[in-house]
Amino acid sequence: MSGGIRARFRLRLGGFSLDVDLALPARGVTALFGPSGSGKSTLLRCMAGLHRAEGRMQTGETVWQAEGVWVPAHRRAVGFVFQDAGLFAHLDVRRNLEYGWRRVPASRRRIAPQQAIDWLGLGPLLGRRPATLSGGERQRVAIGRALLTSPDLLLMDEPLAALDLQSREDILGYLERLHDHLPAPLVYVTHAPGEAARLADHLVLLENGRVRDRGEPAELLTALDGAAARLDGSAVLCGRVLEQDARWHLTRIGTDHWCIAVPREDLPRGAPARIRIQASDVSLALAAHDDTSILNVLPVTVDDLRDLGPAQQLVRLRLADGQPLLARITRLSGERLALVPGKAVYAQIKSVALV
Amino acid sequence: MDWQPFLLSLKLAAVTTVILLIVGTPLAWWLSRARAWYREPINAIVALPLVLPPTVIGFYLLLMLGPEGPVGRLTDGLGLGTLPFTFAGLVVASVIYSLPFVVQPLQSAFEAIGERPLEAAATLGAGPLDRFLTVVVPLARPGFLTAAVLSFAHTIGEFGVILMIGGNIPGETRVLSVAIYDHVESLEYAQAHGLSLAMLGLAFVILVILYRVNGRLTRGHHL
């Protein structure tokens, strides 16, 4: 399949208008990211054919919508996961999973029910009715059910928004492992930067029904005039496991240019790993002190600064390999350190989370 | 003891219920999904038999179906004769009289399903009819059961409408309620007792079965 996904929609709904023209890669995960009311879900529903808007929708060579062309939702090879799972209450888990699979011609099936059951750990749930499942279990079934339609395009509409923290972590884990098996591109709607950073290869920032920005998640989420200033402000660093420190029970993660120690995680050396660092957990210093309890001190360069209010300042930093990092400091500290773009400083990282 | 009126009532109720389920299902589906301006007027027309005195319905039906009425002329012209004072006439009247008892429970059951299961089914490759049969019908099963039982019971209890358009022809239009009325009029209390008791027992059994089955269905479906 070449050409990826092309989605162009125009729509007016009362005071809200949607006007987007997107070309998305044919592989990997694209996160549609933005505040509520920005039109993410509507856009996703238009792509699936659940909502009719003027425009054009194409995956690869297959045209689903164009001038004079409208393929109804049930004839589109699309897998859709709803925020509330939308399982069939009258069917048990197995029959929910097989509902879509049975409706795909055998020659088009690329996955068997058993595979989805194994990937998502659904074995113990097969005989149960949706009413007896937890929110997280329901969402896992919904993901399996969507995968089993052998879709050309997978769409997920804030699948984790209604879940508690633990279930959210579980499902994110499943989705991350799924990432490499994904038979089709995935478009994932979320308003949580953490989910976007963890899952997405590609990020589209939506605001008021318009595409405000798009690109690599790490860059977009730390852009000072974009999402970072309004949200909690955190950066995600990509690296791999460098070594396990058995004596101090630490795992060191990084690249050739930087290294961060985290409490020991059971990961093989060389495995890819992502670390999330909150802006409020990063302080800055002009020299690398070794008389501090802070373990992770990295040389960085100031990239950009922006005032967050009368007292606070958000600083975007670059590691030696160019990955961005955010620090939230007081304006007074910024003044004392004489921070200007290009200045070399040390970032002291109080806490990190492996994601 | 003459059981013919009892059996005739059962037959009338069964035929009416079958026809109403066939006619009422698409109507209730349309009412549960339509956004047209004429939805409310149609809703009101369906509900009219609930509030009108049965004699009023019977009177209008008599005029419409009679030899001078528009429907009567049509049936006559088609060589079917006229409907009043026939079993077929009773079926037509019962269908109209019991319509809200089928449409309203079905409509609420369809509305309660919401859009989500249907959207999910569509993205899973199910076309409109497939969605209706494999998602809507099973999810609305308690509604179908309620509709069937109410229509059946309501038709058996019919009196005013039948008297107006059916009269009292043994084996053709002399249903249970009319027969009981007749027996009482002629002070045949023993016969009236027999039929009334049979009716009471049947109604009780039907309702027990309804609550049993409905209870089981809804318990299994809670989300």
Q: Do B123 and A146 touch (CB under 8 A)?
A: yes
Q: What is the pLDDT of residue B222?
A: 43
Q: Which residues of chain A have pLDDT under 70?
A: 1-2, 224-232
Count Cα atoms within 13 angstroms, Cβ side, for B122: 15
Domains in chain B, ordered, with CATH?
A: 4-221 (1.10.3720.10)
Q: What is the pLDDT of residue B26?
A: 96
Identify whether residues A174 and A301 lie together within a single domain: no
Is A241 inside any structural domain?
Answer: no
Q: Indicate which CATH number applies to the domain containing A22.
A: 3.40.50.300
The residue from A216, A239, A262 where one domain ends is: A216
Can you give the residue range of the structural domain that contains A316? 271-354
The angle, 0 to 180 degrees and rounded to 10, between the axes of the packed helices B141-156 and B4-33 is 140
Q: Which residues of chain B have pLDDT under 70?
A: 1, 217-223
State how far residue B142 is from chain A, nearest Cα, in angstroms: 12
Local structure of residue A131 (DSSP, 8 states): G
The burial class, CB within 10 Å (0-12 / 13-18 / 19+), for A294 is middle
Query: What is the number of structural domains in chain A?
Result: 2
State how far residue B205 is from chain A, nearest Cα, in angstroms: 27
Identify whether residues A199 and A297 lie together within a single domain: no
Identify whether residues A55 and A153 lie together within a single domain: yes
Count chain A–chain B contacts defined by CB atoms under 8 A.
Answer: 76
Local structure of residue B138 (DSSP, 8 states): H
Is A333 inside any structural domain?
Answer: yes
**What count of other Cβ atoms lies within 10 Å of the Cβ of residue A351?**
13
Report how far residue A5's alpha carbon sits from residue A48's, in angstroms, rounded to the nearest whole number.
12
Contact status of B117 with chain A (Cβ, < 8 Å): yes
Instruction: Evaluate whether A291 touches A333 at the Cβ level (below 8 Å).
Output: no
Q: Do A74 and B222 touch (CB under 8 A)?
A: no
Alpha-carbon B80 to chain mean position: 24
The b/e string for A202-239 (b: 16+ C-beta within 10 A; e otherwise) is: bbbbbbebebebbeebbbbbbbbebbbbebebbbbbeb
Q: Which residue has the tokens 């425009």?
A: A55
pLDDT digits (tens, 9 = 90+) for A66-90: 999 999 999 999 999 999 999 999 9
Identify whether residues A47 and A170 lie together within a single domain: yes
The burial class, CB within 10 Å (0-12 / 13-18 / 19+), for A62 is middle
Is A314 inside any structural domain?
Answer: yes
Q: Among partner residues A50, A87, A146, which is closest to B119 by beta-carbon distance?
A: A50
Q: Do A100 and B124 touch (CB under 8 A)?
A: yes
Stated as kind and residue range, the H or E segment containing B114 is none
Report how far residue B122's alpha carbon sits from residue B132's, in angstroms, rounded to the nearest whole number.
11
State how far residue B107 is from chain A, nearest Cα, in angstroms: 19
Identify whether residues A211 and A275 lie together within a single domain: no
Q: What is the pLDDT of residue A26?
A: 87
Contact status of B217 with chain A (Cβ, < 8 Å): no
Q: Do A73 and B138 touch (CB under 8 A)?
A: no
Contact status of B35 with chain A (Cβ, < 8 Å): no
Q: Indicate which CATH number applies to the domain containing A292.
A: 2.40.50.100
Query: Both tokens of residue A28?
Result: 């990997």
Instruction: Evaluate whether B46 touches B98 at the Cβ level (below 8 Å).
Output: no
Q: What is the pLDDT of residue B187?
A: 92
- Residue A88: strand, helix, or coil: coil
Please tell me the pTM assigned to this model.
0.80
Contact status of A48 with chain B (Cβ, < 8 Å): yes
Is A229 inside any structural domain?
Answer: no
Q: Among partner residues A78, A79, A131, which is closest to B223 by beta-carbon distance?
A: A131
Q: What is the ipTM of this complex?
A: 0.81
Q: What is the pLDDT of residue A1?
A: 43
Q: Do A149 and B125 touch (CB under 8 A)?
A: yes
State how far residue A189 is from chain B, nearest Cα, in angstroms: 17
Q: Give the mutation candidate from B115, B123, B130, B133 for the A interface (greatest A CB count, under 10 A).
A: B123
Identify whether residues A101 and A195 lie together within a single domain: yes
- Per-residue HEC secondary structure of A211-266 comes to EEEEECHHHHHCCCCCHHHHCCCEEEEEEEEEEEECCCCEEEEECCCCEEEEECCC
Give contacts of A84 with chain B, Cβ < 8 Å. Answer: 116
Identify whether residues A284 and A196 lie together within a single domain: no
